[in-house]
Amino acid sequence: MEKYEELFNPSFLKKESAAKEVCDNRPPLPKDAAVTMAYVPLQTDMITYDEDKALQCGTLFPTLNKVFLGGSAK
């Protein structure tokens, strides 16, 4: 199996580019990186967007279409 860090070092960062030197100097993971968990609630309301609308909104379910605040919510 690959090294754990290699899983977080996407191949697109390895392509030759002007930003490659910056990417090469950056570690793939912060030293204090933590494993995270996602909470995905069971969808009881099966109303869904059509495919184009779902791609535009980033979700298939209208009840999950929330405003992104760009930071922590207070």
Q: Is residue 6 part of a domain?
A: yes
Residue at 39 is within a domain: no
The whole-number pLDDT of residue 51 equals 95
Q: Note whether residue 20 is domain-resident.
A: yes
The predicted pLDDT at position 11 comes to 60
For residue 8 the two structure tokens come to 């977080």
What is the token pair recorded at 2? 């690959």
Distance CA 28, CA 12 (A): 13
In a domain, 63, yes or no: no
How many domains does the chain fold into?
1
Where in the sequence is the domain holding 23, given as residue range(s)? 1-30
Per-residue pLDDT of the chain in tens (74 residues, 90 and over written 9): 456 666 666 565 555 555 556 566 777 777 777 878 888 777 787 899 999 999 999 999 898 898 877 766 55
Phi, psi of 11 (to 5 degrees): -65, -30
- What distance in Å separates the CA atoms of residue 7 and residue 35, rounded to the nearest whole number? 13
**pLDDT at residue 22, as a whole number:** 58
pTM over 0.75: no
Q: Residue 5 domain-assigned?
A: yes
State residue 50's pLDDT score. 95
